[in-house]
Structures are given as C-alpha cells and as structure tokens.
Amino acid sequence: SQQGEEDPQALSIQEGENATMNCSYKTSINNLQWYRQNSGRGLVHLILIRSNEREKHSGRLRVTLDTSKKSSSLLITASRAADTASYFCATDAAGSGNTGKLIFGQGTTLQVKP
Amino acid sequence: DTAVSQTPKYLVTQMGNDKSIKCEQNLGHDTMYWYKQDSKKFLKIMFSYNNKELIINETVPNRFSPKSPDKAHLNLHINSLELGDSAVYFCASSLRQQGGGELFFGEGSRLTVL
C-alpha cells in the first residue's frame, strides 16, 4: 500500500536556522498534508496542499509539492526551540474511493537547540 | 473544551484481558477514525466510521471491534490482548468523509500489555 517516506529521519539544528524535511510517496494523490506531534501528544494539522498546487505558505511554514517527482518538502524558517517535535506527511490517495483515508509517513524528528 | 477526547490516557493490562478505549468529539464532525502508532512512531489507520457507518476496516484482527453509538462517539474494544497490541491508539475526526480533509486528533491512549 502507499506509504510516505520521510527524509531525514532525524534533524538537529540551532535556534534561528531553517529546517527542511522531505516526503516522498508512491501513487497519485488528491492532496498532501503535514502534521506535527509533540512528545506524548496527539498530531496537530499544519498545512494541506492540493495536487494542483505547487507551493503554500503558513506563517513560518512553506510547503512545496512536486507531483512529477511524487515528493513534498516542509520548510520551517527561523526555527525556535518550541518547534522541537516530530513532523509527518500524510497523503490522500487519488482513487481511494473517497474514504478519507490518509496514509502517514514515518516522520522526521526535529530537535531545535536553544 | 477538548475537541477530541479519549479515555483512558494510559492503560496497563495483562495478556488475555479485554479492554476498551473511548473517544468523543464535540466538533460536529461526520467521520471518526482509529489509528495505531507503534514504538517507531509509524501511524497506521485501523478503522473509520462516517455517521455511525463503518467505512474503513484495514485488515485489523477481529479481536478489535469498533463501535459507534452516534456520530460523536467511536469506541474501540480489544479482546484477548496480546503483547503486540502494545502501542498508542489515536482517535481522530474530520468534518466529512470525502475530500481527505484535516484530521483532528485526540491525545492518544497508551496501551501496555504485559
């Protein structure tokens, strides 16, 4: 079954630096979403990008989508210690029968050092 | 008020026991989900219900039985617990089934089977 793969698995940066996480997937999609999970907490939705969009911004977040390469990237600019969390991409596969099923990647663990 | 709440947050039990996890959402959403997150943070969908109707059943052992008494509640009952059932179980909801929209997650229920 389709599964997102994220790269890198872990990332450690200094506060103020930018963090880039990548996600690749296998089949055509309707949309791709990014979620954040703080340690011991539930996932929180960050941003959704549709298959006909190439780039989307939300505050310090920038998401790109390249459907020809079946990949997406999440850029967090001017990172803060509070951005320390795991980040997951999730895809809504085209032709999934409108079940609303999202397939999650394995996540990137980001540590931002103060 | 918590949007998606699940209880209990922690559950420690012996192999062979039966246990239940409850979930409630006060967002007025039509669709609810159960996801399982393993020790490597891999998140896999188990079930989804749309307005009390089962939509997704992802080859989960029949020891797992979801029940949706109304569209605001989705409970998960697990019979004859096994060591491999140890994981964090997340309940989530979305506005509607179609469109692969944003998921709202609960804080998770950590199940430990001894």
Which portions of chain B are predicted below pLDDT 50?
A: none
Q: Which residues contact A59 (CB under 8 A, 6 or more apart)?
A: none
pLDDT value for B60: 85
> A9 to each of A13, A88, B31, how far by Cα in Å?
14, 10, 31
Closest Cα of chain A to B16: distance in Å? 26
Residue B75: CB atoms within 10 A of its CB come to 19
Give the SS3 label for residue B84: helix
* Residues B38/B87, Cβ–Cβ less than 8 Å: yes
pLDDT at A1 exceeding the cut of 70: no
Q: Do A30 and B100 touch (CB under 8 A)?
A: yes
> B45 to each of A20, A100, B37, how far by Cα in Å?
26, 11, 9
Q: Which residues contact A97 (CB under 8 A, 6 or more apart)?
A: none
pLDDT value for B99: 62
Q: Which residues contact A21 (CB under 8 A, 6 or more apart)?
A: A6, A7, A8, A11, A73, A74, A87, A108, A110
Of A44, A45, A107, the CB nearest to B41: A107
Mutation to test the B interface, candidates A41, A58, A101, A103, most B Cβ within 10 Å: A101
Q: Which residues contact A3 (CB under 8 A, 6 or more apart)?
A: A25, A26, A103, A105
- The 10s digit of each residue's pLDDT in B49-73 is 988 888 888 878 999 999 999 999 9
Cis check: omega of the bond before B69, within 30 degrees of 0: no
Closest Cα of chain A to B73: distance in Å? 18
Rounded to an integer, what distance in angstroms lies between the CA atom of residue B82 and that of residue A50? 40
Rounded to an integer, what distance in angstroms lies between the CA atom of residue B14 and that of residue A112? 38
- The 10s digit of each residue's pLDDT in A25-80 is 998 888 999 999 999 999 999 999 999 999 999 999 999 999 999 999 999 999 99
Rounded to an integer, what distance in angstroms lies between the CA atom of residue A65 and that of residue B55? 29
Bridge partner residues of A76 (DSSP): A19, A61
pLDDT at A84 exceeding the cut of 70: yes
Classify residue B15 as exposed, middle or buried by CB count within 10 Å of its CB (0-12, 13-18, 19+): exposed
Residue of B nearest to A29 (CA): B100
Rounded to an integer, what distance in angstroms lies between the CA atom of residue B81 and that of residue B24? 23
Residue of B nearest to A97 (CA): B98
pLDDT value for A2: 41
